[in-house]
Amino acid sequence: MVHCHILLVCFPAQGHINPSLQFAKRLLQLGAKVTFSTSVSAIRRMSQVASTIPDLTLAPFSDGYDDGWTSAPDVQAFMLSIKTFGSEALTNLIMANENEGHPFTHMVYSTLVSWAGEVANQLQIPSTLLWNQPATVFYIYYLYFNKNEIFTGENNEIIELPGVPLVLSSSDLPSIMQPSSPAVYSFALTAFKEHFEILDRAGTKQKVLVNTYDALEFQALMGIKKYDVMGIGPLVPSAFLDGKDPSDTSFGGDLIQKTVDYIDWLNSKDKSSVIYLAFGSYFKFSEQQMEEIAKGLIRSQKPFLWVTRADNTLDYMKEVEKQGLIVQWCSQLEVLSNPSVGCFMTHCGWNSCIESLANGVPVVAFPQWTDQLTNAKLIQDFWKTGLRLAAADGGIVTAEEIARCLEIIMGGGDRGEDIRKQAQHWKILAKDAVKEATDMFP
């Protein structure tokens, strides 16, 4: 790895930045030179990265929205813009490094920047996809795009994945594959299809790196013979996993900074007594759903730490704040590793899933879209580390349902005890999975 110069290209969203930066640290530890490239707006907000990963070279590029991609008129316009601007910027960066005598020897690109892989193909640079959703979801997309498997999403049909001991209903598939998916999200299905097309155009059997581990998804990792699919996770800072590097306490790329000191508050609570709630950086609940969540928390009579957007709060929440703490941002790993936390209510983004597994924290699953639906199925029925909330007519999850699931997981019954034991089981296996990533690149 001494002579490797790796260009790591990442989509400018927190769920992509975190695992990409953690992977960059591993490459640096192996002796590679690493250049990390994402949008100008993201690099500007990542105030910790220079001090957290001092040996990492940053190469920001304009995506056409230097004030942040949420300022785009619509997500499809942004995806076209980042592809157009990003492809040109990466081409120029690669050519400049070549002309200066320190060329890139390999490119790694994250989910949703498939165009980076195409740039690598055109410039004849070996490349690798870093997939930041579960291997099971990668397998589902592979079957959908490559094997002419038809998932109609009709009548909640039963779907069996060849070689994988997991039976899905059509409602467990990624939402963008379902007929009810809003047209605005069609860009995502297109982007995932492009991933497979670009892997195929690269010619030889391509390596795909997945933020998972063998014990967690062995059958899905082994299910695709066309590519060399490898679990390299959990991509979690060492201090929260194997402890080999106690100084590795954060990803280093937080786009939002802490405004409230929540650690002292957590430390004041009894062991496994706190409910932690976080639903990602971008999703916004309806006012009705926010009120049901608040009422469910009140019914639980448990202290809670709730991370929510500033524009996703209600006057009603002033009442529920008497029971817990509401913040706009926190270090999720700091929270999940705190002994006071007994349950994690999450949207089931893959980073949240893998971090809860690595810390042995049971889950109340509240999925919203894309891979989150499949992730919630895995949590409840395959890994058995949590419960999925059931929506009532109209799609709203009621306070009664929220309180019911919280009581099972936080209470003293047999089912809750089984879930907590399973969470600890996967935590042990996550630590066992951490190993040196050798011979990853030529």
Integer-rounded Cα Rg, in Å, for the chain is 21
Could you tell me the CATH number of the domain that includes residue 182? 3.40.50.2000
Active-site residue, 102 included: no
Which residue in the list 5, 16, 102, 106 is annotated as catalytic? 16
Question: Which pLDDT value is given to residue 167?
Answer: 84
Same domain, 204 and 155: yes
Question: Which pLDDT value is given to residue 438?
Answer: 44
Question: Which pLDDT value is given to residue 258?
Answer: 66
Question: Which pLDDT value is given to residue 115?
Answer: 95
Model pTM score: 0.93
Q: Is residue 441 part of a domain?
A: no
User: What are the pLDDT tens digits along the chain (442 aa)?
Assistant: 557 999 999 999 999 999 999 999 999 999 999 999 999 999 998 878 878 899 999 999 999 988 876 655 688 889 999 999 999 999 999 999 999 999 999 999 999 999 999 999 999 999 999 999 999 999 999 998 887 665 655 666 778 888 888 888 888 989 888 777 777 677 888 889 999 999 998 877 899 999 999 999 999 999 888 999 999 999 999 989 888 888 888 888 887 776 678 999 999 999 999 999 999 877 788 889 999 999 999 999 999 999 987 666 666 677 788 899 999 889 999 999 999 999 999 999 999 999 999 999 999 999 998 999 999 999 999 999 999 999 998 889 999 999 999 999 998 789 999 999 999 999 999 988 875 444 455 5
Q: Is residue 256 part of a domain?
A: no
Q: Is residue 437 part of a domain?
A: no
Same domain, 144 and 278: no
Q: Is residue 76 part of a domain?
A: yes
Question: Which pLDDT value is given to residue 80?
Answer: 92
Same domain, 343 and 402: yes
Same domain, 55 and 201: yes
Same domain, 269 and 238: no
Same domain, 412 and 271: yes
Question: Which pLDDT value is given to residue 164?
Answer: 84
Give how far the C-alpha of residue 318 lies from the chain's centroid of Cα atoms, to the nearest Å: 30
Tracing tokens 């969470």 back to the chain, one arrives at: 423
Same domain, 137 and 275: no
- Which domain does 424 fall in, by range? 263-430
| Tally of domains within the chain | 2
Where among 249, 272, 307 does a domain terminate? 249
Same domain, 237 and 313: no
Q: Is residue 239 part of a domain?
A: yes
Question: Which pLDDT value is given to residue 437?
Answer: 46
Same domain, 12 and 121: yes
Q: Is residue 439 part of a domain?
A: no
Where among 200, 227, 249 does a domain terminate? 249
Q: Is residue 103 part of a domain?
A: yes
Same domain, 317 and 237: no
For residues 116 and 176, give the distance between their C-alpha atoms in angstroms, rounded to a whole number. 22
Same domain, 167 and 277: no
Where among 249, 280, 297 does a domain terminate? 249
Same domain, 175 and 275: no
Q: Is residue 440 part of a domain?
A: no
